[in-house]
Amino acid sequence: MFKILEKWEMADNTVCHFKIEAPLIAKKAQPGQFVVLRPNETGERIPLTMAGTDPAQGTIDIIFQVVGKTTALLRTLQKGDAILDIIGPLGRPTHVEKLGTVICVGGGTGIAVLYPITRALQEIGNHVISIVGARTKYLLILEDEMKNVSDEFFITTDDGSYGRHGFVTDALKDLLDERTDIKLVVGIGPVPMMKFVCKTTEPYGVKTLVSLNTIMVDATGMCGACRATVGGKTQFCCVDGPEFDGHQVDFDELMKRQAAYLKEERQSYERFQKEQE
Amino acid sequence: MTEKEKKEKIPRQPMPEQDPKKRSMNFDEVPYGYTPELAQKEASRCLQCKKPKCVEGCPVGVKIPEFINLIAEGDFIGAAKKLKEDNSLPAVCGRVCPQESQCEALCVLGKKDEPVAVGRLERFAADYERAQGTVDLPQLPPPTGKKVAVVGSGPAGLTLAGDLIKFGHQVTIFEALHKPGGVLVYGIPEFRLPKAIVEAEVDYLKRLGVEIKYNHVVGKILTVDELLEMGYDAVFLGVGAGLPVFMNIPGENLCGIYSANEYLTRSNLMKAYLFPKYDTPIAVGKNVAVIGGGNVAMDSARTALRLGANNVHIVYRRSKTELPARAEEVHHAEEEGVQFKFLTAPLRYIGNADGWVTGMECIQMELGEPDDSGRRRPVPIEDSNFTLDVDLAVIAIGTGANPIITGTIPNLELNKWGYIVADEATGKTSRERVYAGGDIVTGAATVILAMGAGRNSSQAIHQYLMNKS
Ligand SMILES: Cc1cc2nc3c(=O)[nH]c(=O)nc-3n(C[C@H](O)[C@H](O)[C@H](O)COP(=O)(O)OP(=O)(O)OC[C@H]3O[C@@H](n4cnc5c(N)ncnc54)[C@H](O)[C@@H]3O)c2cc1C
Ligand SMILES: Cc1cc2nc3c(=O)[nH]c(=O)nc-3n(C[C@H](O)[C@H](O)[C@H](O)COP(=O)(O)OP(=O)(O)OC[C@H]3O[C@@H](n4cnc5c(N)ncnc54)[C@H](O)[C@@H]3O)c2cc1C
Ligand code: SF4
Ligand code: SF4
Ligand code: FES
């Protein structure tokens, strides 16, 4: 059992942040790695990135968006409650190196995944430019945290309620036009966003990393649920990723595979909402 | 009539089982097992050979005539105890051993007539003992103060853990998943091996003092070197062959195409067959193709039927005689309505706009010259292509070695397929204090062979620990 030590809600209660006691995982985890958790005996195993760790205190942070049954169930847990199973750290850590100037682009809850990577990139001495976006102002998360680990910082919202009106890719394109010293772009967010980030950077020939959030089961390379086509070859995102060269990723296949259980997910979620009433 | 002739007159006793029509709709165990009367009748067929051939066929040398004799005499508990002298999981082996190619294959009765049903009797004795309530714990020797880490809780790891704790060592199992048992829980379905049996075996080990740490992926949260530094005197790797093999043919990443590992893990470990009571979903196919011909393929096909498929095809590139699955599984699958497409191989999958599989293009095969394995090699027949309508496909063509742990142990010798090189008699690897056994050494094999490997390593580790002062 893994105890929840702190709980915060954000983005109008659509996003939830837990600090969880998990000393062994906290000791080992590196930026870019994730955990798999199973809330209770009848629960599903779902992957969530560690948005932060504190090896001294023995804690890990997860930040998740409520999108279906499991995340909604997690949200009902309070400080002091426990999660039945947490497995980690999983996946390959981000390859962090000093390159010069890098751009970190985050959308929606993807910002939670991007945050530890951004911090690591800055700590090693890169000049970090961050662009974070959301549909609308109140959905933007981790603004201060991201700002603190960035040398330059931009915000966009789809509806113009905060920061620049438009998509993160608009801001990204301007930066790519202005500067020629960009060595790396890291883009993490909803799949369509990552796809367009890659489309945006491709003509400039700037290497672009994305984090693929495929459906997973064991997340140890044992089942292949998480397979994606990268560079024409099948990769298991849980062990070969989750980060890949975005210019090689078959995003259309990824989106279709993510939608494989829409019917069952809806059924589960509706059942859960009824039970809650 | 001589005693021998009289015995030969008794036919092999069938096991009562669920009606095929009914059972193809539920996940309850298929055979009910022998009643005491049936067991005694079957046991009475055994000739009590002086030089029992059957024992030579058993990889762990179960004292077959002795335990069968105890059943014939009505001492069922005694029979179970006798079994456990050589086999720590008789309730499992009685159910899943390929008896027809092991113990029963060599039974002398099998020459003229049918062999003694060793597996069914083994299962009976073990079930009888379990049904009597808690199994007595043996007296443990005083603690030796030595600690052993076991990685993986499959049959190899469980067997080894049971042995070592009985020698007085301290044993901790590190298991990647949230439940113990390895393939016994995530792979083999409930209708063939009820999970309560595996749980009872693991409970017994826990009562003996074996500690199990779940959710520990060794290689990630801890490395083997760290385990050694933490004070474990030796480490045993029983991590199985859990890497799914795909065919790398076009369309294989369409939705509705599963590795058998994923399909069975969803259904068994995650209990997707009880969806939505359990949260993990599984796609329910109407027309299902399962590619392969082993136990894994039979389990997948029979699971698909139970989940509600109308048509389930086993697509196998050789012919019926080459099927590697246990004879009983093939027989049960046929009874339940699984259709076999022999001498057939998939070439590519066809999908719709949503990315779901809708069809599988296949080619007809014929058997040519024998290959390395001694079996006749299947060769495609030109222009014999045809398309099978499928909305779900399960790939069950084998597994490989998962590098998640082997890749994090420096200087561990692996063979060209990535399996660990280990001495057959002791499980010793190229690394001092590191032993390995089961599927991660041999490649996908059987429960009893994995248990045998665990047994061999436990002896070797015990010797090493005791010599080491
Ligand atoms: C490596 C990785 C890291 C992730 N990190 C984060 C994170 O930090 N914060 C965050 O909010 N989300 C993260 N996700 C996504 C998160 O796992 C899903 O949102 C979650 O599984 C949804 O579960 P649900 O039951 O609430 O919703 P569902 O209604 O079950 O599913 C909603 C959508 O989530 C996806 N999903 C469903 N089941 C799974 C599963 N078993 N594994 C993966 N995806 C699934 C599907 O695309 C589905 O359409 C990550 C995913 C991956 C693969
Ligand atoms: C569907 C199916 C049906 C089968 N049917 C039969 C049958 O009828 N008869 C028969 O004799 N055999 C059968 N087999 C084969 C048999 O189950 C295996 O040969 C046997 O289970 C191998 O035992 P093992 O202990 O080596 O490994 P496994 O049973 O594979 O167990 C390995 C364990 O190690 C864990 N592990 C892996 N990596 C790590 C890590 N890095 N850290 C921690 N833990 C880890 C795994 O999660 C797993 O629990 C079947 C196999 C399958 C898949
Ligand atoms: S363990 Fe398996 S091979 Fe040995 S006697 Fe029992 S059923 Fe036969
Ligand atoms: S070979 Fe057959 S008849 Fe002889 S002891 Fe073994 S089981 Fe009995
Ligand atoms: S989630 Fe099972 S192999 Fe990646």
pLDDT higher than 70, residue B469: no
pLDDT higher than 90, residue A162: no
At B189, is the pLDDT very low, low, confident or very high (cuts 50, 70, 90)?
Answer: very high
Query: What confidence score (pLDDT) does residue B373 get?
Result: 77
By CA distance, what is B242's nearest residue in A? Answer: A222
Q: Which of A16, A34, A15 is nearest to A79 (CA)?
A: A16
Query: What confidence score (pLDDT) does residue B119 get?
Result: 96
Whole-number Å distance, alpha carbon B325 to ligand 4 midpoint, is: 24
User: Which range has highest mean pLDDT (A104-108, B204-208, B212-216, B443-447)?
Assistant: B212-216
Question: Nearest Cβ partner of A234 from B242, B253, B276?
Answer: B253
Cβ < 6 A, ligand 2 pocket: B 96-97, 151-157, 174-177, 182-183, 187-188, 216-219, 238-240, 242, 264, 295-296, 299, 326, 402, 404-405, 438-439, 444-448, 450
Q: In a 3-state reduction of DSSP, which class is residue B163?
A: helix
Q: Which residues pair with B150 in a beta bridge?
A: B173, B236
Half-sphere CA count of A250, side-chain side, radius 13 A: 17
pLDDT higher than 80, residue B173: yes
Angstroms from B392 CA to nearest CA on chain A? 12
At B395, is the pLDDT very low, low, confident or very high (cuts 50, 70, 90)?
Answer: very high
At A164, is the pLDDT very low, low, confident or very high (cuts 50, 70, 90)?
Answer: confident
Atom 14 of ligand 1 has which residue's CA nearest to it?
Answer: A48
Q: Which of B39, B43, B126, B131 is nearest to B84 (CA)?
A: B126
Tens digits of residue pLDDT in A220-247: 999 999 999 999 999 999 999 899 999 9
At B8, is the pLDDT very low, low, confident or very high (cuts 50, 70, 90)?
Answer: low
Helical spans, DSSP H, in B73-192: 76-84, 90-96, 103-106, 109-112, 118-131, 155-166, 183-186
B52: which 2 tokens? 């029992």
Query: What confidence score (pLDDT) does residue B30 get?
Result: 92
Q: Does any CB of chain A come closer than 8 Å to the CB of residue B386? A: no
Query: What confidence score (pLDDT) does residue A91 get?
Result: 96
ipTM score of the complex? 0.94
Query: What confidence score (pLDDT) does residue B73 get?
Result: 95
Distance separating alpha carbons of residues B327 and A231, to the nearest angstrom:
43
For strands A227-230 and A233-236, give the pairing: antiparallel
Q: Does any CB of chain B come closer than 8 Å to the CB of residue A143? A: no
| Overall average pLDDT of the B202-212 stretch | 93
Mean pLDDT of chain B: 93
Distance separating alpha carbons of residues A33 and B28, to the nearest angstrom:
40
Whole-number Å distance, alpha carbon B58 to ligand 3 midpoint, is: 5
Distance in Å from the first CA to the final CA of chain B: 62
Residue B270, Cβ neighbours under 10 Å: how many?
A: 26
Q: How many helical (H) and strand (E) elements, i.e. helices and strands, does chain A have?
A: 9, 16
Contact A131, A171 (CB under 8 A): yes
Tens digits of residue pLDDT in B22-53: 898 899 999 999 999 999 999 999 999 999 99
A129 versus B7: the higher-pLDDT residue is A129
Query: Closest ligand to B94 CA?
Result: 3
Tens digits of residue pLDDT in B337-384: 999 999 999 999 999 999 999 999 999 999 988 888 778 889 999 999
| Overall average pLDDT of the B270-299 stretch | 95
A84/B178 Cβ within 8 A: yes
Cβ < 6 A, ligand 4 pocket: B 46-49, 52-54, 64-65, 107-109, 116, 118
- Chain A residues with CB inside 8 Å of B227's CB? none
Tens digits of residue pLDDT in B84-96: 888 888 999 999 9
Distance separating alpha carbons of residues A254 and A230, to the nearest angstrom:
10
Query: pTM score > 0.90 for this model?
Result: yes
Q: Which of B274, B258, B369, B360 is nearest to A43 (CA)?
A: B274
Distance separating alpha carbons of residues B167 and B465, to the nearest angstrom:
10
Query: Closest ligand to A72 CA?
Result: 1
B253/A28 Cβ within 8 A: no
